[in-house]
Amino acid sequence: MEPHRFVGLCNPWLRWVLALLQVTREELLDPEEYSDIVDDITSELESKYGTLSSLVIPQPSQKGPASDPSGVGLVFVQFPKLSDAVRARPSTSLCSLVGA
């Protein structure tokens, strides 16, 4: 599996980071690939920015793209401390702040 690249948005007033995950719908549909993606992202972020409170990657529907929930292709990451979320923004290429 190739490393995942992130581009996204950060809200400096919240501990959540929104990142666009560069993976295919098919990878997210495969349970083993999905698990690997979650593990890879968790390991990468925790090694750089500290413990995660939550990591949410919406999974596509087995019924087809028209039935996908909102947010497929996005990664929602929550950090326990605001300072960790702020560190995970532009300088890391994880995300870029909008409106700052």
Integer Cα distance of 72 and 85 in angstroms: 22
Question: pLDDT tens across 35-58, in order?
Answer: 998 998 888 889 888 899 999 889
| Chain mean pLDDT for the chain | 75
pLDDT number for residue 45: 86
Grade residue 11 by pLDDT with cuts at 50, 70 and 90.
Answer: low
| Structural domains present in the chain | 6-90 (3.30.70.330)
Closest CA to 28 of 58, 65, 63, 2: 58
Query: What are the CA-CA distances from residue 88 to residues 20, 21, 42, 61 (Å)?
Result: 14, 15, 13, 30
Q: Tokens at residue 64, please?
A: 């087809």
Q: Tokens at residue 73, please?
A: 């292709």
Rounded to two decimals, what is the model's pTM? 0.71
Query: What are the CA-CA distances from residue 99 to residues 21, 28, 84 (Å)?
Result: 21, 31, 19
Does 85 or 19 have the greater pLDDT score? 85
